[in-house]
Amino acid sequence: MADQIGRMGVRRWALWQLSNRARIGYVLAVDILAVTGVVFALSLIPVPSADLLPFVLLISCALVYPELSRPIERSRISRPFIDLNAVWMFAAILLLHPALSAVVIAVSYFAQWVRVRPDRLYRKAFFASATIVAGYAASAGYAVLSHGKFDDAPRDIVSFSLVVGAGLVFLIFKWALCYFCHATATPGDYALEASTIALGIVVGWALVDWPFVLLLIIGITLVMHRSVQFRDQARTDPKTGLLNSASWSNDAEAHLKRGEKAALLMLDLDNFKSINDRYGHLVGDKHLKGVAEVLRAEVRGTDILGRFGGEEFVILLPATSQQDAMAVAERIRRRVERFAVEDAVTVSVGVAAHPDHGTSLEEVMNAADLALLAAKAAGRNRTLLFAAP
């Protein structure tokens, strides 16, 4: 916990390490927009006293639910823009003053960061801010069209349509703001978050008419969470929690078929067999898990990360130039070099680019593999970019 809080110093944020300055500016702009919205909402709209009870209940759900779902969420593939906690967030957007709904959203993301997945803080802050801004859009749209508050709306087809429309506005704005994070999402992921918004509507109505229904919805959400875990387990490598070879290949190939620029890193742990021989396979597995955590910490939400087999890992970096890919690979190599369980471990990295070094996944992987072999031959613990003979 102390280590996590230590990451909160602004000067120490990993955000400043991003090579793309436009991305840094975009992240900060969304953060500032969310905070500015809170300030304007507080100055223009009084906070109704009737909002306090649902605010306390939704804050409680935002704090308690991450604890209940913690064992499930930790084994799930991280997709921070697909959030099952949107159940409580969207209910807050419907029911509460915009500033109070922003607090519920921020608390939910912070609780997940502290208790479930202590990822880089600027990422959680960005996704929380994007969700808050999307909530402003949904709340404003509903208020303009309904000419009233959700609490007072009649329970008829017109009101139902307006609420569903607000949910669609929320999802569209959130996905648009998080566009650069959608590379690894599937239609099933979007359908899953849409279902959580539908449950959020039910939570909102329950808090107005019959609050005890909230207990049933918590149970339903946990069951949904569990089903997502089972789906992800079929796609992941059991030792590292990364995508397995088949799932990674499917996701990476689907991305390259779009024809967009991308880079591919192929990584191999140096002399890993000697670690297994000296300390045993259990220690070797700890090294694999530790390196997987290092890789997770160093890539973006857009990047497609997998274990390709044995001690080999692969990463597809969408919308990344050769120069930026080499910078990412070097950062990973240096970070792995500092990691150790019983012994230090190093990694060699081969880098290739699409479409410069191949137009298909097989061609780009072959180029990265040749670069990796060259890095091994040159002495290991180094990064090389593919050079055509």
Among all residues, which ones are annotated catalytic? 311
Question: Across 245-320, where does the E strand assignment appear?
Answer: 262-269, 304-309, 312-318
Cα 79 from Cα 187, distance rounded (Å): 13
Q: How far is 315 from 60, CA to CA, in rounded Å? A: 38
Instruction: Give the Cα separation of 24 and 29 in Å (integer).
Output: 9
262-269 and 312-318 strand pairing: antiparallel
In Å, how far from its chain's centre is CA 339?
24
- What Å distances lie between residue 303 and 248, 252, 258, 306, CA to CA? 11, 9, 15, 10
Place of tokens 């081969």: 350
Q: What single letter denotes the amino acid at residue 329?
A: A
Contacts with 374 (C-beta within 8 Å, 6 or more apart), sequence order? 350, 384, 387
DSSP 312: E
Taking each helix axis as running N to C, give the angle between helix 121-146 and helix 98-115, from 0 to 180 degrees, rounded to the nearest 10: 150
What does the angle CA 127 – CA 129 – CA 130 come to, to the nearest 5 degrees? 65
